[in-house]
Amino acid sequence: MTTTTAPRFRFGENWQSFIAGITEPQIAASERDLHKLFPNGELVGATFLDVGCGSGLSMLAAMRLGAARVHGIDIDAESVCAAETLLAQYAPAGGWHVDQRSLFDFHDDSFDIVHSWGVVPFTGGMWAALDHLCSLVRPTRALAIALYRRTPMCRLWRLEKRIYSQASPRTQRIMRLIYEAAFLGAKAATGQNPFAYVRNFYTHRGMRWSNNVHDWLGGYPYESAKPEELAAFFDRSGFIVQCAFTKPVAAKGLFGSHCDEYVLRRAGSQALAAATSK
């Protein structure tokens, strides 16, 4: 999903690599993360839309948590292929569908839960993408979204990502090695076990360390936001924050940013009209 003609990172290649070695513990970790957002059985019997579905892992987690119908969209053909491969293997009975489509070309608001994890920051027009994403949510329905926290280093990271996304595979490998050595060295310097960190990284949404590094270094175009900017946007759009998982930026963003997670409920028609009239 992009609104720019600038070079775009090929997320699909990374997701193809990711699903090739996926394990049940990774799937279980993704389920736990999604259950954290919806701990009261909201997914049971629900219709679920995953915008920027990537590997399809969140779609699979939603199905395992009881969603009745799961739909995913992604602009990247290889991501769509990765999601279809994963779901065909782990959910062969169906109940899911994946489309290669841009967010901006999608207008179906028939879903109970709209989910998008760390996707709209890579569209090249984050606020327009976020606005359109919100339009897919019917009154009283839920939006689960994760957005990168702005740090003092975001401008430099944007430059790095532009370079990385256009670099040769050999140069990308060198950049990854430098980043991994610096990051894990910093972990060791604070008394943490870097080997255990890498080994247990799958507990973060089921992700694998190597794929996560490639994803972070290459994710371009890239934008981020401050929590107060998002709070003002959600208020103007008529959304109520149901729960939020946020944390301070580590090392001023020296090793990258993180995603703050929000579960939002769209206000009913009267409250929504009042919000939009402000």
Q: Indicate the DSSP class of residue 249.
A: P
The residues with which 70 forms a beta bridge, in sequence order, are 48, 96
pLDDT at 276 over 70: no
Q: What is the pLDDT of residues 248-261, one digit of tens each?
A: 888 999 999 999 99
pLDDT at 88 over 80: yes
Question: Which tokens belong to 90?
Answer: 């782990």
CA 103 to chain centre: 14
The rounded distance, in Å, linking the Cα atoms of 171 and 6 is 20
What's residue 89's pLDDT?
Answer: 97
pLDDT band at 274 (very low <50, low <70, confident <90, very high): very low
Q: Which of 81, 92, 91, 89 is nearest to 55 (CA)?
A: 81
Q: What is the pLDDT of residues 67-76, one digit of tens each?
A: 999 999 999 9
Average pLDDT of 1-29? 83
In order, the DSSP letters of 90-116 are H-TT--EEEEE--GGG------SEEEE
What pTM was computed for the model? 0.91
pLDDT at 48 over 70: yes
What's residue 272's pLDDT?
Answer: 42
* Percent of the chain whose pLDDT exceeds 70: 94
What's residue 273's pLDDT?
Answer: 47
Q: What is the pLDDT of residues 31-40, one digit of tens each?
A: 999 999 999 9
Question: Which tokens belong to 266?
Answer: 């769209």
pLDDT at 175 over 60: yes
The mean predicted confidence, pLDDT, of the chain is: 93
What's residue 8's pLDDT?
Answer: 77
What's residue 17's pLDDT?
Answer: 95
Q: Which of 77, 84, 60, 75 is nearest to 206 (CA)?
A: 60
pLDDT at 86 over 80: yes
What's residue 21's pLDDT?
Answer: 92
Average pLDDT of 95-119? 95
Structural domains of the chain ordered from first start: 11-152+221-269 (3.40.50.150), 154-218 (no CATH)
Average pLDDT of 51-60? 98
Q: What is the pLDDT of residues 186-234, one digit of tens each?
A: 999 999 999 999 999 999 899 999 999 999 999 999 999 999 999 999 9
Q: Which of 143, 147, 145 is nearest to 46 (CA)?
A: 143
Q: What are phi and psi of 44, to 5 degrees?
A: -65, 120
